[in-house]
Amino acid sequence: MAFKRDKKEEEDGGNPYQNLEKTSVLQEARTFNDTPVNPRKCTHILTKILYMINQGEQLGTAEATETFFAMTKLFQSRDIILRRMVYLGIKELSGIAEDVIIVTSSLTKDMTGKEDTYRAAAIRALCSITDVTMLQTIERYMKQAIVDKNPGISSAALVSCLHLCKNTSATDVVKRSLNEIQEALNSDNVMVQYHALGLLFHIRKTDRLAVTKLVAKLTKINMKSPFAVCMLIRMACKLLEEETIPRSESPLFEFVESCIRHKSETVVYEAAHAIVHLSGTGARHLAPAVSVLQLFCSSAKPTLRFAAVRTLNKVAMEHPSTVTACNLDLENLISDSNRSVATLAITTLLKTGAEASVDRLMKQIATFVNEISDEFKIVVVQAIRALCSKFPRKHTVLMNFLSGMLREEGGLEYKASIADTIIAIIEENPDAKEIGWLYLDYAFYNTCI
């Protein structure tokens, strides 16, 4: 640690940077000019500056430039933590300060040096101050970094190239590193392979034929990175949406479907999620994805349970009969300690269950509806709207529940969704007209007073 928080602050749990004043912090930055450099003190001041910027504090061009130039004096110190803080400072101030290219030689030296702890961060900082005219001077170093044996350095170079590609002119320079990027794509490191694929796709995304060839090639090999496979699934789905041939005849759909049997849970969910969200996918093609999501519903991991039930909720909107097989698993999730999971489970059951189960499900959700966020309350409202269309005779129970929600506290979007749902029920069901307007009048009266 470069500095320690005050013991009293640690006990109180307070934020030592909460009441910073820009003027006094920038005054402290003059300490950077002291000789010899005090690493601990300078790290603390740099942390304050970065905290202020990230909290939205605006620095003027003159202020940023003065601080930036003072910060360049810190390259005299070999302290690892201070040096990494300097890199972060360069990245943050590069868009505000003037003449930032003054540190190019120092960063290039660190980027090509033998100290691996500096190199990756130096690459990121250097690319943040590099424009198209300077890019050619560091092109050779970037190529070397992309194929570096250290995965952290290789990933830093690939991601930095991706950021440089935001400038169209820089993309042409990055394209000259295609051989190195292809080599990185064959890396054994999961992040390097993922970043290489991301950069390769970004370079070729405007050329449909090139993307098609890339996807066709990669779907035939066994990629080691689950993150890269997830990206490949998304690329395949983008091409699938443009295809005119039936799903059953498409090699791309066959690849996505095969990913359901992948050893990585991340890839399995990505494949199931992709199949569910593909337009024009029938119940037959949905079945394998629903089966996998059903298994995830009983997972010990809350994230998997949440992802599964949320996706099943989406499927139930258009294919409720396909999700019926999962009803028993969804029933078990009603008592889940995570209220978001429980809410989604109940709303899914409302879409797939029988008329006889409506009263029971509404009583269960009423026990914790006040504990969930507006986002999930809106999901409940949408489920009730669909349920009223499916079971018109249940309008009394459902509208009574909606009126209770309307009286509770909540945001504008949430309250508007309730009002819209009641109006929609009134329009669809003549028997609900009288009680519906009564609830709306009552809510309007309470709002006015």
DSSP letters for 223-292? -S-HHHHHHHHHHHHHHHTT--S-GGG-HHHHHHHHGGG-S-HHHHHHHHHHHHHSTT--HHHHHHHHHH
**CA–CA gap between residue 440 and residue 429 (Å, rounded):** 16
284-295 pLDDT, tens per residue? 889 899 999 999
HEC letters along 377-389: HHHHHHHHHHHHH
| Fold classified for 122-203 | Leucine-rich Repeat Variant (1.25.10)
User: Using 50, 70 and 90 to split pLDDT, how confident is the model at 444?
Assistant: low
The pLDDT of residue 350: 78
**CA–CA gap between residue 385 and residue 20 (Å, rounded):** 50
Is the distance from CB of 309 to CB of 333 less than 8 angstroms? yes
376-428 pLDDT, tens per residue? 778 778 777 777 777 777 777 777 777 777 777 777 887 888 888 878 777 77
User: Using 50, 70 and 90 to split pLDDT, how confident is the model at 2?
Assistant: very low
Report the chain's mean pLDDT, rounded to a whole number.
84
pTM over 0.85? The answer is no
Cis peptide before 36 (omega within 30 of 0): yes
Residue 356 burial by Cβ neighbours in a 10 Å radius (0-12, 13-18, 19+): exposed
User: Using 50, 70 and 90 to split pLDDT, how confident is the model at 133?
Assistant: confident
Q: What is the DSSP letter of 32?
A: G
- Residue 11 CB neighbours (<10 A): 8
Given a cut of 80, is residue 176 above it in pLDDT? yes
Sequence ranges of the domains in the chain:
19-98, 122-203, 360-448
